Amino acid sequence: MAQAVFLDRDGVLNEVVVREGKPCAPASVDEFTLLPGVPEALQKLDEAGFLLIVATNQPDVIHGTVKREAVEAMHERLRALLPLDDIKVCYEIESSGSQCYKPKPGMLLEAARERAIDLSRSYMVGDRWRDVGCGRAAGCYTIFIDRGYREALQELPDATCADLKEAAAIILANEACQTRERRAE
């Protein structure tokens, strides 16, 4: 079975706008800027054999503050610039009926079914409590990128770091350790 690194979009791959201590997604392609080190970090993970899958909540579309076409244009830019295997998007809002809105694991479960991914050997990287909760619910190793938002974690991640470059290093070190352990058995 395949291994994946699931990536939140805003605050992990691209810059966010912080309002009142909370991260907000860019509203247009013109506001959409990759964070430093992202292409290099993903290239290393890609070369290590991981599937790279974005899992992003985009409720601003249903709220009417961002057009779906703008979100799709941002994703086309991501596909052109980064070695991504897929982009899963939840356009819903948090509700009891939603199975994809993080922290619910629907996007990860769907990707796992489609691509034969072993979630227990995969990773979820995000900058908000919802990402950590989603990864936990799916059975992934969770890595929290601490951007200093005024938003408490509701579950502890497996690891905390400053950016995607550091997250990639954690993943690759963890994999090297597990490989050594399997060889020793």
Residue 65 CA: distances (Å) to CA of 24, 28, 31, 34, 47: 11, 10, 14, 21, 37
Q: Among residues 10, 60, 127, 131, which one is catalytic?
A: 10
Which two structure tokens, joined as six digits, stand for 89? Answer: 């998007």
Catalytic (active site) residue 8:
yes
Catalytic (active site) residue 158:
no
Alpha-carbon Rg for the chain in angstroms: 16
Q: Among residues 8, 60, 127, 163, which one is catalytic?
A: 8
Rounded CA-CA distance 55/94 in Å is: 15
Active site residues: 8, 10
